[in-house]
Structure 1
Amino acid sequence: MTRFRPGDEVYGDVCDMDGAFAEYVCVPDRQMEHKPTNLTFEQAAAVPMAGCTALLGLREVGRVTAGQQVLINGASGGVGTFAVQIAKAFGAKVTAVCSTRNIELVRSLGADRVLDYTREDFARDGQRYDMVFDLVANRSLADLRRALTPSGVVVLSGGGVSRNGRPHVTGPMGLTIKAQVASRFVRHRLVTLSGMSPTAELLADLRELIESGQVLPAIDRTFPLAQVPEAIRYLEVEHARAKVVITV
């Protein structure tokens, strides 16, 4: 190892190593990067997977540029809270979709327009977007495409909850399959993000955005290591928003 020295503060991802609910973990250096200097370890722990997913979806897949219209469906979730900020950092005009209780949170992240999905339907309000970043998988592919400009792109990632809050019958897998089939016959780009892992390069780019003050992790709650079961229960039952962090 040549990139790090003893005592360096680092952050990274261990999703393919059974997680990090532990006091110590051994990780390949290719999955680590120097921690943003303006974040605590607890804040930094909230960044890698969600932040890299948002960055990859917006930059590499969505190819978002300044002035474009971007809609983020599921803006109050872990990936969504990063996506709103990153899209704004790229100069996009951001419309964020969330529930009533999360409107102020999402607005505080810099969204230009916030839609309450219990009262407004982004697929039928006449607005068209260069990119729809769907993080919920609660709308049909036809609805997502209806919200696009002629050259727009749909990026799918995660989800599986219906509009009434119950698990979706087919979930993201069904939507993914439909997108793969339909993409051969329609002019829109329909792309699914799956199986991605944070890389040192993505983590370094995120660090720059964070240290510049353009992006910060939004944390809902923290739990001590001894309360991991309670933290998981909170995620599954209490409709957690943003990120939940385990402290050691």
Structure 2
Amino acid sequence: MAVTEDTDGMRARRSDAQRNRARLLVAAREVFAESGLAVPMSEIARRAGVGIATLSRNFATREAIIDATFAPRMTAYADAMQAALGDPDPWNGFSQYVWTVCGMQAADRGFAHVLTMTFPSALELEAERTRAYKGLRTLIARAKAAGALRPDFSSVDLALILMANAGVVGATGDAAPTAWRRMVAYFVRACAVDAVDPLPPAPRARQMQQALHRIHDPL
């Protein structure tokens, strides 16, 4: 009898722990989407209906809960790249990819920031980001080879538009929720090969990495 009670008690505790973790992830998705990544951890715990100690047991750091919350969305981001590469029209694949990822940012303020930051210990998140980046280089090369994408376009330029779009999404919010679409339309038009005005030099990859880490530091 004692063995059964102990077993039942362990199962109940495991079930409670699983429910708490699930509630925390739902709350994190909601809070991050509404308010961005800098929201207090205590607000996530409050929204989930648990104590801060329970949150800490499940997710020791802010980066850990960001990883668990956004890894599926980062997978969707990388999958969108694969869909773009499968488009027989290289320009359409490129432009639709830009629209897709900017739309993902607009739909979720938290993810808008995740796309412009790096999280070295969030292994699943960063693995999917790397998969998308490798595809981006191929996508750019295809669009240039087709004579559709301006030859001075760099992969850094997509990082710049994502940073800009995150700022527009955060600034306009509910007041002008479609404003991001006008900015993205300008960007896509400027990427076309017949947009003849030369661009200033693109930042070097190392400079962009420093910029991304600087965005991440406050967290």
TM-score (ref. length: structure 1): 0.29
Judging by fraction of residues, say which structure has more helix: 2
Structure with higher strand content? 1
Larger Rg: 2
TM-score, normalised via structure 2 length: 0.32
